[in-house]
């Protein structure tokens, strides 16, 4: 019998160590930070919809801007740390 010999053939889960984001916790954290930045962007757009004059207040804009900036900086830092950890683990 000739069948497939990959992980999906026997019902087991795929090897996440070969994934770009799920290979270690630092990379998972960078993915979470990216999702947080996107959610903040969507919420910031929602502020414009719910405000009475059609534009968010300066405080709302500043909060959303700083959340996006901070999550992108932390996410990029975690991504680089995860890559270095991954590279040192394979050596």
Q: State which residues form the domain around 41.
A: 20-90
Does residue 50 lie within any of the structural domains?
A: yes
- Residue-wise pLDDT for 48-81, tens only, equals 788 777 788 888 889 999 999 999 999 999 999 9
- Residue-wise pLDDT for 17-53, tens only, equals 677 677 788 889 999 999 999 999 999 888 878 877 7
Q: Residue 22: phi, psi to the nearest 5?
A: -100, 20
Q: Is 41 exposed, middle or buried (0-12, 13-18, 19+ CB in 10 A)?
A: middle
Question: For the chain, how far is it from start to end, CA to CA, in angstroms?
Answer: 38
Does residue 68 lie within any of the structural domains?
A: yes
Provide the domain count of the chain. 1
Does residue 24 lie within any of the structural domains?
A: yes
**Structure-token pair, residue 14:** 């795929």
Do 51 and 43 form a contact (C-beta atoms < 8 A)?
A: no
Does residue 85 lie within any of the structural domains?
A: yes
Does residue 83 lie within any of the structural domains?
A: yes
């Amino acid at each position: 019998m000739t069948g497939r010999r990959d992980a999906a053939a026997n019902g087991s889960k795929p090897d996440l160590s070969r994934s770009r984001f799920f290979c270690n916790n630092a990379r998972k954290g960078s993915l979470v930070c990216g999702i947080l930045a996107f959610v903040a962007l969507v919420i910031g757009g929602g502020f414009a919809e719910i405000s009475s004059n059609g534009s968010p207040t300066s405080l709302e804009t500043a909060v959303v801007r700083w959340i996006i900036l901070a999550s992108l900086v932390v996410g990029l830092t975690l991504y680089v740390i995860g890559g270095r950890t991954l590279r040192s683990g394979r050596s």
